[in-house]
Structure 1
């Protein structure tokens, strides 16, 4: 799913659980402090010099996460002068190829950035990375937001530490709502009323790209979550259920209802994501359901809609099993430590420090939501991003987007069928039937 910078960085074949995973109690504690866990030199002995090889993707000057990664690494080395972090960076797609090849050759670096779920599953299956439960004290786990460890947990064991959190939200231009006397929707009926009212006034209610199919999926994914609930969605997408269940037809019918009400522009099918977003960020379209990265752009200093955009949760759907406290998205980007590291203890200590502080620094810079509970002056953070963070503070679950839960050709089956539903060339029932072919029956 090409969800601009944040998800291009971290979404690749994710096999996500929908609910917070319980972790086993553990004992060993390597570090747990924001001062970088300075090496303890018992008896005043000089600490042994250590080099930690760290491969990651934040090297480009244009990457909003590069300054945060650089600062965290430098801070750690300052507090631990005996430790040298040897950094190797590559562009996202090249990195994915390289890290897979390194794993296959049994040459993984001491610590490396990766993505949870399906992308890292081969590393776990080959026993290439360190299983972390014994190092994660209750104090450390309590610092993580609900569900943060879901996508790095395999068979009940934790193998990585996340730092970013991406979630889907409805971004609404409150100025347009106020000027046109429309209520910001909290129910399905209010959402349809808003759509119809804006449409009658000649205003396109919602921004979407029919050409870049993942943007349509952003809308349907959350509607399916509202209709079926997180557990049923996850089980069905991982081939442990059935799309024949009535909840998926309910979601398809509601999606068609939104389309038929005139929610999207007639020319949306031929418009790219970049083109579709322009009128929203120019203040001409009142609603857009997108990932939390949208907050950064909406709240930037040069944004035409700065101070006007609010993030709300998508409302419940009549007859649905889900609720507005359940979100699409989750914590996916993570760091893992090689099982073959010659400096495993030091690498794990740095891993814990990096994950927590990368969350903090990238949040402060307005680049992403944190997967860790951060103690920062939020007056210095992009207010739109703070809005999304506050929206999700009592989140019950996060369910990764469909086109990342699904794999290979199954993803294309879904996106192509959804595009046809969007364009009206498939009925809701035909759409559901197409999804069921993923099961081979």
Structure 2
């Protein structure tokens, strides 16, 4: 996907027959009695979300407001919300439900490989006609990760970029500046460590967080084509770009102690707490994290928060890129009755409106997935937009490769930082997994 990250984002937005029992007087007909009313038949629609962490309170509240508004517009509708951990939802529950043919009616969905796989089960609703009905077909910035064979099977709620959040005060106090090259980045980290400052926060307990930085490194080295080629077979995990990117992460950073010493044990939220508490100078994270780092109730560094795109590497084919896409969104069950389809259509109409797209931008700093002009936003949002300006985006590797490959790489990266395997060994194992999954897909 070679699209410039758009810094302008989208403007959007019963049956009442009464049967008379035999031999009894018929019930009054509302048509003959204008003052009479018939209560709508109640029905429920399941709604799965992953906004269960403390950092997601605002997003959860926004979803709740959306559901309440939709209920008010669809007679008889009552939503049944369910909060599930993001990893559990993606890697366990949704997989099982899709295989069994009983996913929730509305649920958070990841684009790319997940959407493609689920579309094959015929359990994902084709949204193409609904978008046409609501006149939203051309209102989204990028639907590519939710489009399969020309049909749209999911809708992104927001876009993101990944890069380096940094503490401006720590940088200034220690005489370092924002690095423009990888060599300068390592020098900054070395200087900070030499002065007793932990350069980078990291949590290795959740392997997906470990894989964010290597993902950017191997794309920096080889260009975005190296990841896209894994599924087609034109590239391999054992290629130079992947080996070099992983070695840069392991040998240049991990082995030199540039991360917090307790990194192997920390979870993602805990690594964020380190940076937000002013205990590290930098953290490589997704743009979604700005809602925590810029929230004075959760962060001590609000006034000193900055952001920059990861620096260029010498000879890199992906130096003009920034990790970013529109991968997180909503999917819908293909098995809907007439009332449920009305509820889904109204949900899309409300959720993907200017009102809520602007709200998520101003409240949480989430880049809208729709084409609207940004208004007054937090300073950190402007820094992220500036970092992405003129850059082409590339999606995270797990939006492209098969879920099994993703999990095997996660196991591999933990074995790598745990000193149990070398870079070449883990990548050889992952390549075997990639080839096996490619072979399955070809059948």
TM-score by length of 2: 0.74
1:287, CA displacement in angstroms? Answer: 0.9
Cα distance in 2 between the residues matched to 1:209 and 1:236? 27
Moved more, 394-403 or 176-185: 394-403
d(CA) in 2 for partners of 1:101, 1:158:
22
Q: Are 2:147 and 1:153 equivalent residues in the alignment?
A: yes
User: What are structure 1's unaligned runs of at least 5 residues?
Assistant: 1-17, 22-31, 35-47
The partner residue of 2:348 within 340, 346, 351 is 351
What residue number does 1:28 align with?
none
Task: Output one character per residue of 1:104-125: Cα deviation in whole Å (capped at 9) or x when no partner.
Answer: 6766676554333444445422
Asked whether 1:291 is paired with 2:286, we answer yes
Determine the C-alpha separation between the residues in 2 that align with 1:177 and 1:158: 45
For residue 360 of structure 2, what is the aligned residue in structure 1?
362
Residue 288 of structure 1: CA displacement? 0.6
Q: Which residue of 1 aligns with 2:370?
A: 372
- Give the structure with higher Rg (CA): 2
TM-fit CA distance, 1:177: 0.9
Q: Cα gap change, 1:159/1:52 in structure 2, threshold over 3 Å: closer, same or farther?
A: farther
Size of the aligned set, in residue pairs, is 395
- CA drift of 1:407 comes to 2.2
CA displacement at 1:134 relative to structure 2: 4.7
Q: What is the aligned partner in structure 1 of residue 29 from structure 2?
A: none
Q: Residue 437 of structure 1 aligns with which residue?
A: 432
Superposition map of 1:204-243 within 5 A:
204-236=198-230, 241-243=235-237
* Aligned residue runs from structure 1 range 12-27, under 5 A: 18-19=1-2
RMSD, aligned α-carbons: 3.8
1:307 corresponds to 2:299: no
| Per-residue CA distance 1:350-374 (angstroms, 9 max, x = gap) | 4243234543333333174322234
Q: 1:91 aligns with which of 76, 83, 90?
A: 83
- Give the drift of 1:257: 2.2
Instruction: Say if 1:420 and 1:347 are closer, same or farther in 2 by CA, change over 3 A.
Output: closer
Q: CA 1:100–1:435 in 2, change beyond 3 Å: closer, same or farther?
A: closer
Pairwise CA distance, 1:54: 3.7
Match of 1:57 among 48, 60, 80: 48
SS at the partner of 2:338? coil
* Partner residue of 1:407 out of 399, 403, 409: 403
CA contact (8 A) 1:311 1:387 kept: yes
- How far apart are 1:196 and its partner, in Å? 1.6
SS of residue paired to 2:225: helix
Q: Provide structure 2 residue ranges, at least 5 long, that are not aligned to the other structure.
A: 5-10, 14-38, 437-443
- 1:93-108, aligned counterparts within 5 Å? none
